Amino acid sequence: MLVYLLRHGIAESEAGSDRARELTREGIMQTRDVAEKYKHHSPILDKAIVSPYPRARQTASSLQTVFPELQFDVDSRIEPDGDVYAVMDVIANFGVQQLLIISHNPFLSNMLAVMVDGTMKTNRYIGNSVLVCVSLDLMAPGCGKILYTLQP
């Protein structure tokens, strides 16, 4: 299975709440740049999920300019403080071969650390508009291998 982890683009620093923050112009442009690079890898996505936060949904919209057929399921389980282990259990039951997740930190960095290292104690930071492709033979902690990373 291939899991693509994409962190939202740069968001505004001031907003009414963290939940309400939107992408900056730079965040939109960087996400489009990564989407163009991602296109060259010709992913055949079975499923795509996105956090309900506006900045994540705007990042998904930027991807849809390059992949117009791509449809996203909004999933509140992948919000910033989502339970990585519970989400991995859900993913294991999806029955898909290629999955794209657009979310936030600390969730994405923690998920990457658990997938590759088996623990959240390692530092696997994912920056804004960065996409990490992880290959897993089994959806379980420590069973993943990073195949590539795309940056703006």
Kindly report the average pLDDT of the chain as a whole number.
94
Give the pLDDT of residue 16.
Answer: 74
- Enter the CATH code of domain 2-150: 3.40.50.1240
Instruction: Work out the pLDDT band at 24, boundaries 50, 70, 90.
Output: very high
pTM exceeds 0.85, yes or no: yes
pLDDT one-digit tens code per residue, 106-144: 999 999 999 999 999 998 999 999 999 999 999 999 999
Q: Give the per-residue SS3 of 87-141.
A: HHHHHHCCCCCEEEEEECCCHHHHHHHHHHHCCCCCCCCCCCCCEEEEEECCCCC
Give the pLDDT of residue 123.
Answer: 84
In this structure, are strands 98-103 and 47-50 parallel, antiparallel, or unpaired? parallel
